């Protein structure tokens, strides 16, 4: 009978369900459904499976941020919903806006079900319960963060206090809906309330997993939760806390950059020393026809090309001193982020370059990187300069990232190690070093879902818009408002 209860619970927390539009289901006993560690493990797998959905972690949370920025990639696909995101001409019936809302709250619902079940069953083994609660709290926190960055009325104002962000955010959902009796009609919380809940949940998650451990490969552990927290602080412009958290991650010594960035994105590079958290997709396990590979790969839909603006960044990575050094010594310079991670068409008349970070179009088995160590190094370097001024420590991290990809050879074809390194003397102001770090970040993390959020955290916006423009917030899906009159619409869509 226990297994039947578990299956009922997994069915409820992993099927597609709206925040407000849930079909009646049989009530279940949480203390019965979660009687042992095996039941918890099944439920956690259900939560991660929900996160793997294309509308959540596998594809569109990542891709939408790059579509919104519309600077390093050009989208020429036929999906109207994605074209609207790219052009910022969204309508309240946009199917992608609706699907991301629904499926992200579905995953939050799965996390809440686990949290409540653990609370309802005090006889569970303490370590397993603590690890599961920690993972579920972190998942709930991070997805509220992703939602508020997309649907919040305006972004978190960089460098401001949490409490001052009184603009509308998204509903904070802390209780699972397991039957029709549990349906509620929540109003939107403020951006301040969402961020504070995210910070609180992540703090508790980290404490729990430090004491009890976390999930295994492809799941959340302490360092993943800390990476989530660092990204939240970076979005807030709280650089002191970014520095503290990323210092902790670096100090573990558990991560390192793979020797060649192309190796990280290769099929056998998954879960490498550089990987902190990635969505695991096995052969034919990803959402068919809707993976990042389908959209980016030249062997997929071929919907995306690298923009002229992105291609122009390669030359900006070298200052006058470095260019003169290369010229004087007849050095050959190649950046693998361009030479290996962009590919040309076999058609000689097609000169556009495609993104090669997601290449397994045959099996749709490319993992989706969510946190990798390169981000942590660059975030730490940026926060260090902003807090303490330019320093050799920050410069070393910047050079570590760029030297991994920029290869310099002499006239004999022999490598010249670290020849592309910046020197402290290259920067006469702190801002010059910050600009160099931001440029490196843009090139390094391109096509991985950072572009739009990096603009907003820097008090900027896509070309043609200004920070806080209402058209940069996604509308609350009309189908949600039809069943919940408490959901106020964002101003640009009223």
pLDDT in tens, 454-491: 999 999 999 999 999 999 999 999 999 999 999 999 99
* Spatial distance between the Cα atoms of 150 and 474, rounded to a whole number of angstroms: 6
What's the pLDDT at 32? 56
Structure tokens at 60: 């569109």
How many CB atoms are located within 10 Å of the residue 493 CB?
16
For residue 412, give every residue at least 6 positions away whose Cβ sits within 8 Å of its Cβ, in sequence order, or none.
none
What's the pLDDT at 3? 34
What's the pLDDT at 30? 58
* Spatial distance between the Cα atoms of 50 and 105, rounded to a whole number of angstroms: 10
CA 429 to chain centre: 31
Structural domain boundaries in the chain: 2-482
* Spatial distance between the Cα atoms of 392 and 423, rounded to a whole number of angstroms: 9
What's the pLDDT at 12? 42
- Kindly list the averaged pLDDT for each block of 10 residues, start to end, along the chain of length 494: 35 41 42 73 94 95 97 96 98 98 97 94 92 98 98 98 98 90 89 98 98 96 98 98 98 98 93 96 72 91 95 98 98 98 94 94 87 98 98 98 98 97 98 98 98 98 97 98 97 96
Determine contact, residues 299/375, Cβ cutoff 8 Å: no
Q: What's the full length of the chain, in residues?
A: 494
Q: Tell me the CA distances in angstroms from 366 to 111, 180, 293, one per residue in order.
A: 25, 37, 7
What's the pLDDT at 387? 98
For the CA atoms of 295, 299, 301, 303, the dihedral, rounded to the nearest 10 degrees, stands at 60
Determine contact, residues 336/407, Cβ cutoff 8 Å: yes
Taking the alpha carbons of 240, 241, 243, 248 in that order, is the dihedral positive or negative? Answer: positive
Which helix H or strand E contains 435, and what residues bound it?
Answer: helix 430-444
Structure tokens at 78: 């036929």
Taking the alpha carbons of 151, 153, 155, 159 in that order, is the dihedral positive or negative? Answer: negative
* Spatial distance between the Cα atoms of 110 and 133, rounded to a whole number of angstroms: 12
Determine contact, residues 378/444, Cβ cutoff 8 Å: yes
Taking the alpha carbons of 101, 119, 232, 190 in that order, is the dihedral positive or negative? Answer: positive
Residue 410, phi then psi, degrees to nearest 5:
-85, -170
2-482 maps to CATH 2.40.170.20? no
What's the pLDDT at 33? 61
- Interhelix angle for 60-69 vs 80-87, to 10°? 50
* Spatial distance between the Cα atoms of 203 and 209, rounded to a whole number of angstroms: 10
DSSP 372: E
């Amino acid at each position: 009978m226990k297994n039947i209860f578990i299956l009922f619970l997994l069915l409820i927390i992993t099927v597609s369900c709206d925040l407000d539009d849930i079909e009646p289901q049989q009530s279940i006993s949480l203390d019965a459904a979660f009687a042992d560690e095996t039941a918890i493990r099944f439920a956690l797998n259900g939560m991660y499976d929900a996160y793997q959905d294309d509308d959540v972690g596998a594809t569109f949370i990542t891709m939408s941020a790059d579509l919104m920025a519309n600077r390093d990639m050009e989208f020429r696909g036929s999906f109207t919903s994605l074209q609207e995101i790219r052009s910022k001409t969204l309508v309240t019936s946009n199917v992608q806006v609706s699907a991301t809302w629904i499926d992200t709250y579905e995953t939050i619902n799965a996390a809440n079900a686990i949290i409540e079940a653990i609370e309802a069953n005090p006889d569970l083994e303490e370590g397993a319960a603590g690890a599961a609660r920690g993972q579920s709290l972190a998942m709930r926190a991070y997805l509220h963060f992703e939602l508020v960055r997309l649907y919040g009325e305006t972004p978190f104002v960089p460098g401001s206090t949490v409490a001052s962000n009184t603009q509308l955010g998204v509903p904070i959902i802390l209780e699972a809906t397991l039957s029709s009796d549990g349906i509620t009609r929540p109003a939107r919380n403020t951006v301040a309330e969402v961020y504070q809940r995210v910070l609180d949940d992540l703090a508790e998650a980290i404490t729990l997993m430090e004491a009890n451990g976390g999930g295994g490969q492809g799941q959340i552990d302490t360092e993943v939760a800390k990476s989530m927290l660092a990204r939240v602080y970076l979005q807030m412009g709280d650089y002191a806390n970014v520095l503290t958290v990323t210092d902790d991650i670096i100090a573990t010594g558990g991560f390192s950059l793979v020797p060649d960035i192309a190796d990280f994105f290769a099929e056998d590079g998954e879960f490498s020393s550089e990987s902190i958290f990635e969505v695991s997709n096995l052969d034919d396990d990803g959402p068919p026809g809707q993976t990042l590979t389908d959209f980016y790969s030249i062997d997929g839909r071929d919907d995306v090309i690298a923009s002229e603006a992105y291609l122009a960044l390669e030359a900006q990575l070298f200052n006058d001193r470095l260019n003169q050094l290369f010229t004087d010594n007849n050095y050959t310079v190649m950046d693998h982020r361009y030479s290996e991670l962009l590919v040309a068409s076999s058609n000689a008349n097609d000169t556009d370059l495609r993104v090669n970070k997601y290449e397994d179009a045959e099996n749709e088995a490319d993992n989706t990187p969510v946190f990798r160590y390169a981000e942590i190094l660059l975030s730490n370097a940026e926060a260090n300069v902003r807090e303490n001024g330019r320093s050799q420590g920050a410069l070393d991290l910047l050079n570590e990232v760029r030297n991994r990809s920029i290869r310099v050879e002499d006239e004999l074809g022999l490598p010249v190690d670290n020849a592309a390194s910046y020197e402290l003397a290259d920067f006469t102001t702190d801002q010059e070093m910050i600009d160099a770090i931001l440029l490196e970040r843009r090139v390094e993390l391109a096509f991985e879902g950072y572009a739009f959020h990096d603009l907003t955290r820097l008090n900027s916006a896509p070309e043609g818009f200004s920070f806080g423009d209402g058209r940069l917030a996604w509308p609350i899906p009309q189908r949600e408002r039809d069943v919940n009159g408490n959901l106020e619409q964002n101003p640009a869509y009223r």
